[in-house]
Amino acid sequence: MMEDKREIFYKAFLEKDSSFEGVFIVAVKTTGIFCRPTCPARPKPENIEFYPSAREALDNGYRPCKVCKPMEKLGNPPEGIKKLLKYLEEHPSVKVKDADLREMGLEPNQVRRWFLKNYRETFHAYQRMFRANTAFQRIQLNENVSDVAFGSGYDSLSGFNQMFKNIIGTSPQNSKEKQIVNIAYIETDMGLMVAGSTETGICMFEFADYKLIDLELRQLGKHFKAPLVQGENRHIVTLRRQIEEYFKGDRRAFDIPLDLVGTEFQKEVWLALLKIPYGSTTTYARQAELIGKSTSVRAVANANGKNKISIILPCHRVIGSDGSLTGYGGGMWRKRKLLEFEQRCRQGELEF
C-alpha cells in the first residue's frame, strides 16, 4: 500500500470516521482479528495492515472482531432484533414488555439503545407507532372502530382514541380523509435504509446514516402536512421485494409508484436519471443536455444532491466529466460499490 494512503486510512481509523465504512478493513497482527474503521480498538500502527474487504482479511487468516462485528451489514439489525421485529409484525396487538424481551433472550437496555441509535426513537415509541399504523390501515378498510381498538390490545375505547389522536393527529372516526406518511426501515446489502411512502407512492428511500436524514424527514412531514408514522403500506411492501431482487442481481429497473417531493425542475432532473442504463454512467453535463432548455450543469448537480430516493432514482450513476466519482449522500464508498455491483451483474458476475 502506498504510504500516503496508509496514513489517510490510519488517521480515519483513529478518528472512527464512518465515511470510510466499506473503503477498508483494519487487520491487527497481534490479535489476529479484523475490524471496521469505526471500531473502538486502538492497536499500534506497526501492528496493523489494511485490506479492501472483509473477505480478503478472512483469506489472510484473520477472524472478525466481536465488538464492531465487521461481517454484519452496516446498520442492519442483529439476529435478536430481527426476530423481535418479525414478532411485532406478526402480533401487532401485543405490547412487548421488558419481561417479554428477556423471555426472547434479549436484554431490554440493549434493545432500547439499539432502537434509539438506529431508529431514532425508543422501543416503546416504535411499538405505539406500529400499532397506530396497523389500526389506521384497518380503519381505512372500513373496519369498525371498536373492533379495531380491542383488536389492537386496548381495554377501552378512550385509551385507544387518545393514542390514535396523539399519533395520527385526529380521532379514529375522522381519519378516513387523513393522510399519513409511512416510515419503514429496510435492510439492504449496503446497510440500513429508511423508506417513506404515501398512499400515492414512495417519497423517500435514503441510507439511515445519511447526515441530513432528519432534515429530509421533517421536509416530508411539512410538504404533505401529514404525520410520519412507523409502519408499512402496499408500496413499501413492494419496495422491500424489489430492492431484494436488485441486490440479488435479478432486477435492473424498479417498477414502483413514486411521490416525488421537490420543485418541478428537480423532478425533471430526477426522472431523467431513469434514462441512464443499468451498469452505465453519465456526467452532469450529459444529464443537463438530456434535459435541455439551456440547463446549467451546476443546477443539475444541485438537484441530484437533493434526490431523496436513492438507488431507485440512480443518481449514483452520475460522475464527473473527468470520470471521477463525485459527491453522494450515502457515502462515496457506496457509490463506488453500487457502480461496481451493477457492472459485474451486467457482465454476468452476480456476487456482491
In the chain, the domains with their CATH numbers are 3-64 (3.40.10.10), 79-174 (1.10.10.60), 183-247 (no CATH), 264-346 (1.10.10.10)
Which H or E element spans position 50? strand 48-51
Q: Specify whether 68 is catalytic.
A: no
Distance between CA atoms of residues 237 and 241, nearest Å: 7
Residue 229 corresponds to which cell in the numbers above?
Answer: 408514522
Strands across the sheet with 193-197, in order?
A: 202-207, 193-197, 181-186, 228-230
**Predicted model pTM:** 0.79
Tell me which of 35, 65, 203, 315 is the catalytic residue: 315
The residue type of 294 is S
Residue 30 corresponds to which cell in the numbers above?
Answer: 497481534
The residue type of 20 is F
Provide the residue-wise pLDDT of the chain in tens; the chain has 352 residues.
Answer: 455 778 888 888 888 887 677 778 999 999 999 999 889 888 888 999 999 888 788 888 999 998 888 877 666 788 889 899 989 888 888 889 999 999 999 999 999 988 888 888 899 899 988 889 999 989 998 999 999 998 888 889 999 999 999 999 999 999 988 999 999 999 888 888 999 999 999 999 999 888 889 999 999 999 999 999 988 899 999 999 999 999 999 999 999 999 999 999 999 999 999 999 999 999 988 888 888 767 788 888 899 999 999 999 999 999 988 888 887 888 888 898 899 999 999 887 554 4
